[in-house]
Structure 1
Amino acid sequence: MSVYCLSQDAGRLVALLSNSATEEQFVARFVSRKYGSASEGRRLLEWAIQSELVQFDGPNVQPAVFTEAYSSWRSQRGMLADETRTRLFGQAIAAQCKPGTVAIDVGAGSGILSLFAARAGARKVYALELTSMIEDATQIASDNGFSDRITFIKGDATKFSAPEPVDLIFSEWAGMYLIDEYRHFDAFCQVRDRYLKPSGIALPGSASIYIAPIDNSQLYTERGFGFWKKPVHGFDFSVAESRQLAAPRRIIVEARPSSLLGEYKLRSFDCKTDQSSEFFFETEFVHRFEADGACHGFIGYFDLELAPGIVINTSPYSKLTHWQQSYLPIEEIFATAGDELHVKVKTYVDPLFASAMMELTVSVIGSGERAPRTYLYPIDNSYS
Structure 2
Amino acid sequence: MSQQKPSKSAASAAPATDAAPKTIEEMSAADYYFDSYSHFGIHEEMLKDEVRTMSYRNAILHNKHLFKNKVVLDVGCGTGILSMFASQAGAKLVIGVDMSNIIHTARQIVKDNGFEGKIVLLQGKMEEVVLPVDKVDIIISEWMGYFLLYESMLDTVLYARDKYLVPNGLIFPDRTTIHIAGLEDSEYKEDKINYWDNVYGFNYSTIKQKALREPLVDTVDPKAEITNHATIMDIDLYKVTVEDLAFKGNFSLSVRRDDYLNGFVCWFDTWFNGSHKPVYFSTGAHHKYTHWKQTVFYTKEDQAVRTGDAIQGTVTCKPNAKNRRDLDIDFDWKLTRGDKTIYSEGQSYHMC
* TM superposition score category, shorter chain reference: 0.7 to 0.9
Please state how far the C-alpha of 1:337 moved relative to its aligned partner: 4.1
1:177 matched to 2:147? The reply is yes
Other-structure match for 1:87: 54
1:372 matched to 2:344? The reply is yes
Q: Distance in 2 between matches of 1:201 and 1:304?
A: 15
Aligned-partner residue type, residue 241 of structure 2: Q
Other-structure match for 1:29: none
Other-structure match for 1:70: 37
1:319 matched to 2:288? The reply is yes
Aligned-partner residue type, residue 168 of structure 1: I
Are the structure 2 counterparts of residues 63 and 265 from structure 1 closer, same or farther at C-alpha, using a change threshold of 3 Å? closer
Are the structure 2 counterparts of residues 152 and 375 from structure 1 closer, same or farther at C-alpha, using a change threshold of 3 Å? same
Give SS of 1:71's match: coil
Please state how far the C-alpha of 1:273 moved relative to its aligned partner: 2.2
Q: Distance in 1 between matches of 2:307 and 2:95?
A: 57
Please state how far the C-alpha of 1:89 moved relative to its aligned partner: 0.6
Are the structure 2 counterparts of residues 345 and 208 from structure 1 closer, same or farther at C-alpha, using a change threshold of 3 Å? same
Gaps in structure 1 of 5+ consecutive residues:
1-7, 12-17, 19-44, 55-61
1:173–1:181 CA contact under 8 A, matched in 2: no
Please state how far the C-alpha of 1:214 moved relative to its aligned partner: 0.8
Q: Deviations over 1:161-191 (max 9, x none)?
A: 3323211101000001101132x21111111
Other-structure match for 1:166: 136
1:210–1:267 CA contact under 8 A, matched in 2: yes
Q: Of 120, 135, 148, which aligns to 2:117?
A: 148
RMSD value, Cα: 2.7
Other-structure match for 1:256: 221
Q: How does 1:235-254 map to 2 (within 5 A)?
A: 235=201, 237=203, 239-240=205-206, 242-244=208-210, 248-254=213-219
Aligned-partner residue type, residue 377 of structure 1: Y
Q: Deviations over 1:250-276 (max 9, x none)?
A: 111111111112211111111122123
Q: Distance in 1 between matches of 2:149 and 2:239?
A: 16
Please state how far the C-alpha of 1:69 moved relative to its aligned partner: 1.4
Q: Distance in 1 between matches of 2:115 and 2:5?
A: 37
1:253–1:326 CA contact under 8 A, matched in 2: yes
Q: Of 200, 216, 227, which aligns to 2:195?
A: 227
Give SS of 2:253's match: strand
Q: How does 1:264-283 map to 2 (within 5 A)?
A: 264-283=230-249
Percent identity of paired positions between Structure 1 and Structure 2: 24
1:175–1:323 CA contact under 8 A, matched in 2: yes
1:284 matched to 2:254? The reply is no
Q: Distance in 2 between matches of 1:9 and 1:119?
A: 33
Aligned-partner residue type, residue 80 of structure 1: L
Aligned-partner residue type, residue 177 of structure 2: S
Are the structure 2 counterparts of residues 337 and 273 from structure 1 closer, same or farther at C-alpha, using a change threshold of 3 Å? closer
Pairs aligned (count): 326
Q: Deviations over 1:332-364 (max 9, x none)?
A: 112234433232210112213332221111332
Other-structure match for 2:24: 47
Q: Deviations over 1:234-253 (max 9, x none)?
A: x26462575336x5111111
Segments of 4+ in structure 1 off by > 6 A? 8-11
Q: Of 304, 329, 332, which aligns to 1:358?
A: 329
Structure 1, 334-343 or 291-300: larger mean CA deviation:
334-343
Give SS of 2:150's match: helix
Are the structure 2 counterparts of residues 242 and 85 from structure 1 closer, same or farther at C-alpha, using a change threshold of 3 Å? closer
Give SS of 2:238's match: coil
1:306–1:312 CA contact under 8 A, matched in 2: no
Structure 1, 288-297 or 210-219: larger mean CA deviation:
288-297
1:165–1:197 CA contact under 8 A, matched in 2: yes
- TM-score where L is the length of structure 2: 0.84
Q: Deviations over 1:289-315 (max 9, x none)?
A: 354321110111001102452112101
Q: Of 303, 306, 320, which aligns to 1:333?
A: 303
Gaps in structure 2 of 5+ consecutive residues:
7-12, 14-21
Q: Deviations over 1:33-55 (max 9, x none)?
A: xxxxxxxxxxxx96232xxx35x
Give SS of 2:234's match: strand
1:295 matched to 2:267? The reply is no
Q: Distance in 2 between matches of 1:286 and 1:78?
A: 35
Q: How does 1:195-234 map to 2 (within 5 A)?
A: 195-223=164-192, 225-228=193-196, 231-233=198-200
1:129 matched to 2:103? The reply is no
